[in-house]
Structures are given as C-alpha cells and as structure tokens.
Structure 1
Amino acid sequence: MKIAISNDHAGPEYKFAIVDYLNSIGVEVTNYGTDTPDSVDYADFGHPVATDVENGVVDFGIVICGSGNGISMTVNKHAGVRAALCWTKEIAELARQHNNANILSIPARYTSIQQAVEMVKTFLNTEFEGGRHANRIAKIPCA
C-alpha cells in the first residue's frame, strides 16, 4: 500500500506519529508536509497529495491542518478526490464505508495524536460497502 501524507504548521507532530505507525505496518509513505511549526499555507502542501491520489500514484492520502477544513477544501478541488474531514474513528469508518473516501483530513487542533492514529487505522482497515452508496458516489462530479 502507498499513502501520501501532508500537513501544515499545525500538524508536524501528528504526521510524525502517523508515519511511524504506517512504517510499522509496512506502508510506503510519501511525505509532502512541513516538518516545522513555522507558518505555511496549507494549500501548498495539500495539492501534491491530491495530485498523487488523482493520478493513482498512491492508494490513499492523509492531510492535516489546524481545523482540517482548509486542506480538505483544497484537496477536494481535484478530480476523483473524496476527502473526508474526520474527528473520530467512527466518522472515519463511515467515510470509507458510505463515501468511499480516499483522503482522510485530520483537524490537529481538535483531536489528539492518539485519536489521529486510531482514525488512520480505522480508515485503512475499512472497505467501501458499495451498493446504494455507489449510486450516491456516482452523483458526485469528478471535476
């Protein structure tokens, strides 16, 4: 499995913990995020993840910013991207089951690092249910 991850200045510690987890389970990770708390623009760091998902270079993406909203809005502008802003593992599970989300957006200022890692575990271990949900996903424009 291949995953692209990115973060702005609110999320370096979250990213480090998530990458450690992903490495421990043998996932190949491409890091597009900043490694420092120095202020940056989330869009500059979100677009590379979305491009990798859009082009099939990776299986999933993970993006992190303070609220999770800005970076989620950014990546959702890309064709074929379905980023879900999640703040619990239950929402991450539903995002995969019902929405076939392919990017997990994490709000660093509103979740703990432990919660974020649990969301990643759940997101990656949950399958899309298809069926009636596939019909709904088909109604989401790709561009």
Structure 2
Amino acid sequence: MRVHLGSDHAAIDLRRELAAAVAAFGHEVASETGPSAASESVDYPDVAVAVSGRVKADPGSLGLLVCGTGQGMAMAANKQAGIRAAVVMDPFSAAMAREHNDANVLCLGARVVGVELAKVLLRTFLDARFAGGRHARRVEKLEPGG
C-alpha cells in the first residue's frame, strides 16, 4: 500500500514516527508533506488539500494526516471530492472507518493519542479492507449529488 503523509507544525514528531511505522509495516511512504521544524508554522488546510490531492491522483493509495487533534485536518480533507477522512482514537473505529465507510484518509491528533496507540491505529487502518456490499450504496451517498 502506498501512503501519503502530512502534518502541521503540531505533529511533526508523530508524522516522522508514523512514516517509519508505515515502512516497518511493509508499506511505502509515497510522499510526506509538512514542515521540518515545529517553529515552521503552516496552515493545516493547505497540508490536508495537498495530501488529499495526492491520494486522489494515486488510485489505491491512502492518506495519513496528523495535527493537534486530527479534527482540523479531517474537516479540510473531507471538503475534497472523493476523500473520506476519519478521525479515530480506538482500533475498532479505525477498522470500521475502512470496512464500512471506505475511508481513504486517517486523521490522528498528536495531542490526544500517544505514539504507540497511533501506530496501532495506523496498522489497523492499513490492514482493514472495504467490505463493499450494502456499505457501497451508503458510501456513494457521501459524494456530492449522492
């Protein structure tokens, strides 16, 4: 699986930890977007739009966005057609976001989940697959005009 990662200045360390985890899980870090230092302030919507664009342009890939809470990234990403971003804080929600909602972007908050939990959430998200069936009809309704 190819994964496009992004963070704002509040989550640089978590982004780096999770980039290493993506590779350790046997997946490919397709791109990494965001500042290189916490002193380099960026606007999270810009990062979310950039990563969302890469996910849309790279069929079958997934995105990972991290900021302070994950909420702002999710809000910005979900405004992009074809993106279904989910903020999760437990493994069950991470699995269901993929299996039932066909989420293609995982959003995490560096200020609300620790590194080890974030790795579990990421692995769960990457390992889960969309179940299709009755869920496909529902996911179609999430798109504009759906």
TM range (shorter): over 0.9
3-state secondary structure, aligned to 2:100: helix
Using the size of structure 2 for normalisation, the TM-score is 0.91
Aligned length: 143
Partner of 2:37: 36
Contact 1:49 1:61 in 2 (8 A): yes
Partner of 2:7: 7
Partner of 1:117: 119
Distance 1:135 1:141 in 2: 11
Q: Which amino acid aligns with 1:21?
A: A
Contact 2:25 2:123 in 1 (8 A): no
Which blocks of at least 5 consecutive residues in structure 1 are unaligned? Answer: none
Q: CA deviation at 1:35?
A: 2.4
List per-residue Cα deviations over 1:48-82 (Å, max 9, x = no partner): 11001122266100000111111111111111100
Partner of 2:22: 22
Contact 1:67 1:109 in 2 (8 A): yes
3-state secondary structure, aligned to 1:67: coil
Using the size of structure 1 for normalisation, the TM-score is 0.93
The root-mean-square deviation of aligned C-alpha atoms, in Å, is 1.5
Distance 1:15 1:64 in 2: 7
3-state secondary structure, aligned to 1:130: coil
Distance 2:84 2:59 in 1: 16
Q: CA deviation at 1:26?
A: 3.6
Which blocks of at least 5 consecutive residues in structure 2 are unaligned? Answer: none
> What fraction of aligned residue pairs are identical, expressed as a percent?
35
3-state secondary structure, aligned to 1:79: coil
